[in-house]
Structure 1
Amino acid sequence: MKLMKVLIVMMVVVFACTAVFAAEGGNSRKGKYLYKKNCKVCHVSGAEGGELTPLSKTQKQWDRFFNEDKHKKSPEVMKKFSEKDLKDINQFLFDHAVDSDQPETCG
C-alpha cells in the first residue's frame, strides 16, 4: 500500500513538472510550419545551407543552437523571427530530434 502511494505521488510530480515545462516551451506544430516555410528553403540537399532536418541533431544540440549558436554563419536570419517563433521552431526540432521519442524529418 505504501509503495502505491509513493508511485502516485511520483506520477503527480512528473505530471506537474511536464505541465510547467510544456507551458514554457513552444508550439511544435507551428514550429514545423515555420521551419518548412522559412528554413527549409536553404536547408535542403544541394542548397546554400546544406541539408538540415530535425534528425540532424540531438535534443541537446538543438537547444544549444537556439541558446548559444543562434545561426552564427548568418545571424541576420534569426532576426526576422520573434522570440515566440524561435521557441516554436526549436520545439519542433527538439521534439523530432534524432534522440527523441518521435524522430522524423521535416517532410
Structure 2
Amino acid sequence: MKTKEIAKIASVFFFIGLFSTMAVAGDDADPRKGKYLWKKNCQTCHIEGEEGGKLSPSTKTQQQWNSFFESDHAGQAQERCMKYSENDLHDIQHYMYDHALDSDQPETCS
C-alpha cells in the first residue's frame, strides 16, 4: 500500500472512532457529574448481596453499556430508585462508558 492510502484509511478509522464516542451521550454530557450521581444514588443498591446486584462501570463493555441505556433498562431501574432527568442519565451513561471493561481507563474500584 502507498503511504497516502494508509493515511486515508487511518483518517477514516479515526473519524469513525471520534463520532461513535461522541454519539454515546452527546457533546454536553458531564461524566464527572455522572460519577457523582452513580456513587451517591445508584451504587448503594448495586453492591454484592443487595437487591440491585453487583454492578460497576467495568462489569460491562462499552457496547453493553450503550445497549443498556438504549433499551431503557436504566429508565426502568430508576423507577424503583431515584428519578433522573434525561441529562442526568446521559451523564451517568457517559461515565459508565468511559470506564467500561474495554475502555482505556476501566473503573476497578467502587
Shorter-chain TM-score range: 0.7 to 0.9
RMSD of the alignment, in Å? 3.2
Partner of 1:104: 107
Structure 2 spans left out of the alignment, 5+ residues: none
Q: TM-score, normalised by structure 1?
A: 0.74
How many correspondences in the alignment?
106
Shift of 1:3: 4.3
Structure 1, residues 27-71: CA drift from partner, whole Å, max 9, x if none? 111111110011001001111111100111110110111110424
2:26 is the counterpart of 1:24: yes
Query: In 2, are the aligned partners of 1:42 and 1:49 still within 8 Å (CA)?
Result: yes
Structure 1 spans left out of the alignment, 5+ residues: none
Q: 4+ residue runs of structure 1 moved beyond 4 angstroms?
A: none
Partner of 1:42: 45
2:94 is the counterpart of 1:84: no
Q: TM-score, normalised by structure 2?
A: 0.72
- Of all paired residues, the percent bearing the same amino acid is 48
Q: Which one of 40, 58, 74 corresponds to residue 55 of structure 1?
A: 58
